[in-house]
Amino acid sequence: MKLIKKLLIASAICGLSFSSSFADAELVKKGEKIFNTKNLGNCLACHAVNGKAIDGPGSMGPELSGLQYWPEDALYDIVYNIYEAKGITNTSMPAFGKAGWLSDDQIKAVVAYLKTIK
């Protein structure tokens, strides 16, 4: 009986981790779409991405690389409102969240995608 209980617990944990990784993959895919879609984030218009094949000029903003090491909340804050997050007043990057261009869920998806950038 103890063995069966342990097997059930182990299978439940495996199922949770599988659905979690599936959900994460879907979130990353959604974030990549927002990043690359002109009428959504359109991030590729200004940012080149290290190791990612994109079709955009990517010359106005900094090249994005090493973002897998950044804390998620820092990336979220920058996308939400770069002015407050970085304490700057002069940038071409819009405050996507504060301006209402992207929802909370969309910003979280973009952050999930940014965390895949090496």
Q: How far apart are CA 10 and CA 13, in angstroms?
A: 5
pLDDT above 80 (res 11): no
Looking at every residue in the chain, the average pLDDT score rounds to 83
Answer whether residue 18 is part of any domain.
Answer: no
Segment 79-94 mean pLDDT: 95
Q: How far apart are CA 79 and CA 61, in angstroms?
A: 13
Number of domains in the chain: 1
- State both tokens at 3: 């063995």
Answer whether residue 108 is part of any domain.
Answer: yes
Alpha helices in the chain (DSSP H): 2-36, 72-80, 82-86, 104-114
Give per-residue pLDDT as tens, 48-65. 887 676 666 777 888 899
Cβ atoms < 10 Å from Cβ of 76: 18
Segment 20-47 mean pLDDT: 87
pLDDT above 50 (res 20): no
pLDDT above 80 (res 66): yes
Host domain of residue 63: 26-114
CATH code for the domain of 58: 1.10.760.10
pLDDT above 90 (res 6): no
- State both tokens at 33: 């779409």
